[in-house]
Structure 1
Amino acid sequence: MEPTESRTLDAIETAVAEIAAEMQAREDRGEVASYIPELARVSPQQFAISVALRDGRTISGGDWETPFSIQSISKVFTLALALGKVGDNLWRKVGREPSGNPFNSIVQLEHERGRPRNPFINAGAIAVTDMILSGHQPKEALGEILRFLQFVSGDDAISIDRSVAASEKATGFRNAALANYMKSFGIVENPVEHTLGVYFHHCAIAMTTRQLAMAGRYLAFEGRNPDTGHSVISLERARRINALMLTCGHYDGSGEFAYRVGLPGKSGVGGGILAVVPGGASIAVWSPGLDHNGNSKLGRDALELLARRMHWSVFG
């Protein structure tokens, strides 16, 4: 190991340990997502952070061995899969602009005649899921999504939390409204119950922060799996997904995240955030308490501290 690499590794290890200790001591932790009963049962007293480097080394702190529901973070991976299937035809049905509205807003969808503003709000992710489903049975489509996550993380143990999926299905009335509305405009082509079933289940995939950080490395390293050098997606596509993560990855809190953290990131209401340091690292944080926009309160704070200490920002 080169001296500079050793110093950088030491700096990351020190930063991760200190940030984990600070976050675990915080009292104001936000509120867990109560509208999904299974997520409402998760203790907000947990915090985890993992940093995955090019060579596969990971530095972790806190409750990093505890799996959690990745929720909307799965949308980053389904977007990559759908682009691989239909290419830029995807953008005929889904936009690329920030929403400025809550992630489950139906008002905006009505105003824009059923075309979701971006692939990371719920309506957009449902439309993307529908594209993956086309030509497949729901179990086949879901298996494809799960295998992709297992592949990019290098971990076949990743699985779906069936209780969370059932909880989402039982309470997912607004998502059903979004899907049916898009169906009326031809944005959703498959049976709504099939598309929603796949959507609820891929949002219910459970991962640790270490697994999630490893899964995100291909976005940090030009679309390639750093372990093999093989392309997962093209460099151009990796850059564009990162751009969407920066501008749309935190719903109507995306501007605040870009301002404070300065990295592409995608949040989920399970309390996780995946962040990408292009050419440097993939980072996953988890703390179940959310802010008023539905993003992890401590997760964002931790990423802001880490980005500042390591001088990690796409803005220099």
Structure 2
Amino acid sequence: MRRSAEILILALCLLGTAWFAHPALAAPPQPVETPAVQAPDVRPPTVQTPSERPGGSSPNDSSVAVRISSDAPALSRTVLIVLLLTIGAVAPAILLLMTSFTRYVVVLSLARNGLGLQGIPPNQVLIGLALFMTFFTMGPVFSQVNEAALQPALEGRITTSTAIERGFAPLRTFMLEHVDPEDLRMFLDASDARPQGPSEVPASALVPAFVISELRRAFTIGFLVFLPFLVIDLVVSSVLMSLGMVMVPPVVISLPLKLLLFVLVDGWGLLVSSLVTSVTRG
């Protein structure tokens, strides 16, 4: 123990001698000067009064001059293109509402549902068939629109607004021939419009009244198409119940019978001819 203390004292003495022998170690560290960071010279914004503006204006002049950048024409063209694309996407649907397309596509869809075929024929086939039926029945109306509005507008003889007015006239006549007077009166009363003649009936009242009338006729025809299929379903269900075949789905028996009946009576031809006749003969 005594020897360890002597060794510790000797080590302390050697450490003190080495400390004082080197002044660089004994002197306290000098502070390091860091370069000063100068703040940027920020000048406050100056506001020119009307008297300090070039050209000199009166102190009472409180008008604000708005400068339109050179990007304004480009922005206007962009908005115009967007509007044209939107109108181009909506216009076909609006035009179809003014034709017999609504009646055709609804009746064909109801006939498919009555057969029990959810995806056959596909929607594309039904819509294509309805479109061609529309072009067939609306051919005279489209010819009048072409002669009265489209061709003169393409040749530059009339303006766009005049072409729209002339082109809507045959469509207005067609819709007035097939619209239900009660539906038209309802929309005229709602819009507080009092037209003095057929040519003054506003499109905002005529088009929805015509669509409702077409939907009513389409559902009426669809109900008549559904009746034979409903009878077959009831008969098949009653027979299966009487035979005790409760576990057999009725659609397994009724679907082939409905398809057979539809093919034997030439269902598609009869349905299409009836629809076309209902439009052409009013």
| TM > 0.5 fold call | no
User: Which structure's residues are more often strand, by fraction?
Assistant: 1
What is the TM-score when the length of structure 2 is the normalising length? 0.22
Q: Which has the larger radius of gyration?
A: 2
Which structure has more RCO (C-alpha within 8 Å, separation ≥ 6)? 1
User: Which structure's residues are more often helix, by fraction?
Assistant: 2
